[in-house]
Structure 1
Amino acid sequence: MKLRCLLVLGLAAPLAAGATCVDPAPDPNNTYDAARTYPKQVRKYPFIRIASAAVPEDVRVVRDLSYVRYGSRCLKLDLYLPARAPRDTLPVVVFVHGGGWNAGYRTEFAPMALRLAQRGYAAATISYRLAGEAPYPAAVDDARAAVRWVRTHAARYGIDPARVVLAGGSAGAQVASLAGLSADLHPIDPQAGSGVSGAVQAIVNIDGVLDFTTEESRRHDTDPAKAPSPAAAWLGGRYAENPGRWHEASPIRYVRRGMPPMLFIGSAQSRFQSGRDDMVARMRARGATGRVLLLPDTPHTFWLFDPWLQSTVDATVGFLDEMLGR
């Protein structure tokens, strides 16, 4: 059965013939992108430049593919592929953008997707439901739906359905990690048992939180006089109001033997990697592979800029080549 759409209740159903998708109006408050982040960072790092999203001749892009539907609402992805047909099927990396769960665009990972395609990978950058449209766990469900869409349509695009990777930056890294670690697990994955696996063969976490319940994660939400943090807004309340949800949304909770190998790429801003060291220790105790690369003297959004993006790409390709047997 092809997974062509997903209803709010998590049930698969076909797209209605002739049905059209309705995209929400652009949100004027959604101002998180590389162009707006650059002026904030260039003062401290004058050597940086925004990573290029220009499509080179050796890459082709298939844009605006609808991968899941909720009523009349369709979510879309862009697919980046080598321009020349490869000898073998391609591993694919599904990217989840950052933005504090309430902002951002899938184009954030276009520069990295382009460079992966030049290195012999397919890459998909996805849009997902932000907190203002649908709170947790909507974004996580969307990421798993994208994995299932890629696996279902793999043959059409020369993709290997047995080599699917989830990756993301910041909030997207948390979403990608949780989606990959909880795939096919009842009851947290509503599509478990759908006939199309949401499992991935590796995860790349770029400066994303692994444990919402640490003191570092919670300290921004302990003062009721202050507005809730983006994490609290996405999770539907502060930790004291719903601790179970904060635990459930923490990727560290799903460490187990046989889990996908993970690469952690971190900035010099430790608050964005809450729980990482503990998670890596737990993984190693259970025989799971966890690798860490820290980029010194970098801002949280380092992957938006050169020269740091190239280091991120090189580390990702090296890790995935090893884990996927290339």
Structure 2
Amino acid sequence: MRRTYAGLAAVLLLVSAGTAAQPPAPESYTAATTYKKLAPAYPFIRIAGSEAPASVRALTGITYVQRGGHALQLDLYLPAQPKAGPVPGIVFVHGGGWRAGVRANFAPMAIRMAERGYAAAAISYRLSPEALYPAAVQDARVAVRWMRTHAAEYGIDPSKIAIGGGSAGGHIAALAGVSGDAARFDPDGGPGTVSSAVQAIVNIDGLSDFTSEAARRYEDDPARQPSSAGAWFGGRYAAMPALWREASPLFYVNAKTPPVLFIGSAQPRFSSGREEMVARMREVGVPSRVVLLPETPHSFWLFEPWIGPTVEATVAFLDAYLR
């Protein structure tokens, strides 16, 4: 027993120390590293191109908030020749298990959204080695506020802004979008500030319920010390069940919840709680749409041939609820 308690104390100490646990580098989840893992099983895939064509205006390395010594940045992609009037916008949140990843992972999708008449921002945010939950959600909401604040400057319609993301980023986007005016996720908001509310949400293969048995089988696995979610929360489900529930988008659904598009892979573990969330949305009269891409791995949106249908589904959904 003494050894068990000592081990637990060591884990807690590493979590509280932030970087002492030697977490994976943010670059460990990129299109290139993921390609190496997936190519043997999917030899036909190609990394989606991220070079902006002449029809897209790319503005990169824009600081949207300063967190101590860390300048959180975004890359903004705009139609080079937008149609008359301001365009809808969407903020994209990258994945990487809440502890890794780079905003460049969403550049291909953001560029294609700009080609279709949207202003799309791919953002960086504080990963778990730097700051635990709910810092990433707070950063995502600040990015939405930044887009709304600078809407006139970039020709964006401030009344038509969505948020989306993939994997952990899909979960973060969903939680940021459904949590309404909860100060927990927007401590700088409130009366007199620009709203961080969104008008639509796109959750690509991201969790909706951390408390479900299916999610905890992987995210609360005692063999992983800690799991990605456990590292983000700072503890396992048994130690902090209320926190795991608080971080689950499912439990925020109400009549004011924005419409949600769920795009899923053939790996159901990554979208635990989706069916339950859709059912709750139906009960309160909030639109939702589910698009499943068969025979796909997780992270499918980083690659051809799947980025095409992912963009098409997103554009069709946002055209319906933002245009």
Same fold (TM over 0.5): yes
Partner of 1:166: 163
Give the distance between the partners of 1:166 and 1:313, measured in 2 at CA.
14
Say whether residues 1:88 and 2:78 are aligned partners. no
Q: Judge conservation of contact 1:184–1:197 (CA < 8 Å) in 2.
A: no
* CA-CA distance at 1:186 after TM superposition: 3.6
Give the distance between the partners of 2:301 and 2:186, measured in 1 at CA.
29
What is the SS of the residue equivalent to 1:136?
A: coil
Q: Judge conservation of contact 1:144–1:183 (CA < 8 Å) in 2.
A: no
Letter in 2 for 1:101: W
Give the distance between the partners of 1:186 and 1:114, measured in 2 at CA.
32
Give the distance between the partners of 2:230 and 2:248, measured in 1 at CA.
13
| Bigger fraction of residues in helix | 2
Spell out the pairing of 1:249-288 with structure 2 (5 A cutoff). 249-288=247-286
Q: Judge conservation of contact 1:184–1:191 (CA < 8 Å) in 2.
A: no
Partner of 1:220: 218
Letter in 2 for 1:297: E
* CA-CA distance at 1:39 after TM superposition: 1.9
Q: Judge conservation of contact 1:205–1:263 (CA < 8 Å) in 2.
A: yes
Match of 1:119 among 116, 119, 127: 116
Gaps of 5+ in 1: 1-26
Give the distance between the partners of 1:85 and 1:28, measured in 2 at CA.
38
Partner of 2:174: 177
Letter in 2 for 1:140: V
Q: TM-score, normalised by structure 1?
A: 0.89
Change (3 A) 1:320 1:28: closer
Letter in 1 for 2:264: G
Tell me which stretches of 4 or more aligned residues in structure 1 moved more than 6 Å. none
Give the distance between the partners of 1:76 and 1:96, measured in 2 at CA.
12
Which piece of structure 1 moves more, 275-284 or 81-90? 81-90
Residue deviations 1:133-175, cap 9 Å, x none? 0010000000000000100010000000000000000000000
Change (3 A) 1:243 1:71: same
Change (3 A) 1:320 1:278: same
Partner of 2:21: none
Gaps of 5+ in 2: 1-23
* CA-CA distance at 1:86 after TM superposition: 2.8
Q: Judge conservation of contact 1:185–1:192 (CA < 8 Å) in 2.
A: no
Q: Judge conservation of contact 2:220–2:229 (CA < 8 Å) in 1.
A: no
* CA-CA distance at 1:31 after TM superposition: 1.2
Give the distance between the partners of 1:289 and 1:223, measured in 2 at CA.
34
Change (3 A) 1:195 1:222: closer
Letter in 2 for 1:315: A
Change (3 A) 1:225 1:157: closer
* CA-CA distance at 1:69 after TM superposition: 1.3
Q: TM-score, normalised by structure 2?
A: 0.90
Q: Judge conservation of contact 1:204–1:263 (CA < 8 Å) in 2.
A: yes
Partner of 1:291: 289
Partner of 1:312: 310
Residue deviations 1:74-106, cap 9 Å, x none? 100010001114311010110000000000000
Say whether residues 1:100 and 2:97 are aligned partners. yes
Give the distance between the partners of 1:221 and 1:145, measured in 2 at CA.
27
Partner of 2:64: 67
Q: How many residue pairs are counted as aligned between the two chains? A: 299
Change (3 A) 1:105 1:221: closer
Match of 2:153 among 153, 156, 173: 156
Letter in 2 for 1:78: D
Identity among equivalent positions (%) equals 60
Give the distance between the partners of 2:80 and 2:48, measured in 1 at CA.
21
Q: Judge conservation of contact 2:171–2:206 (CA < 8 Å) in 1.
A: yes
Give the distance between the partners of 1:192 and 1:123, measured in 2 at CA.
22
Give the distance between the partners of 1:245 and 1:259, measured in 2 at CA.
21
